[in-house]
Amino acid sequence: MQDALVAAAIAARENAHATFSKFKVGAAVQDVTGRIHTGCNVENATYGLTVCAERVAIFKAISEGARKFTRVAVVADTDNLTPPCGACRQILWEFCGDVEIVLSNLQGKTETMKLGTLFPRAFDASFL
Ligand code: THU
């Protein structure tokens, strides 16, 4: 049976606004109440203003009042499973800490890891 979080990320990916790269990404974040918040990448003609699926999902969740998270799923159509970019790792660390990250593609290939392994020795509020 498919993980509901991955299924949500696959569905969100369909809404990707990837006009320039054609590279569609979907993300889903689960909060401690079990609620799932989704996002897709939203590109911009200036390129630099593009926002990744992971940041859209976590910012949507924060704006809905969610504050504690358990898992994040990221889906793209790549055989080599697509991980969050560096900027997204920083943002996810800030709001989610060392949560499980599930990477998946459309063929059902899946790999799960902790954010801390993708983003060791992070700078965060504990330094301030
Ligand atoms: N992208 C994401 O949305 N998440 C990732 O984890 C990697 C990259 C998007 C940004 C851009 O719209 C496109 O993929 C190509 O970089």
Tens-digit pLDDT profile for residues 17-59 = 999 999 999 999 999 999 999 999 999 999 999 999 999 999 9
What spacing in Å lies between the alpha carbon of 23 and ligand 1's midpoint? 7
Residue 81 burial (10 A CB sphere; 0-12, 13-18, 19+): middle
54 is catalytic: yes
What mean pLDDT do residues 91-99 have? 98
pTM (predicted TM-score)? 0.98
Q: Which of 29, 26, 32 is nearest to 12 (CA)?
A: 26
Q: Is the pLDDT of residue 1 over 80?
A: no
User: Of ligand 1's atoms, which has the minimum distance to the CA of residue 85?
Assistant: 6
User: Residues 21, 3: contact at Cβ < 8 Å?
Assistant: no
Is the beta carbon of 15 within 6 A of some atom in ligand 1? no
Q: Which domains occur in the chain, in start order?
A: 4-123 (3.40.140.10)
Q: Which of 51, 103, 41 is nearest to 78 (CA)?
A: 103
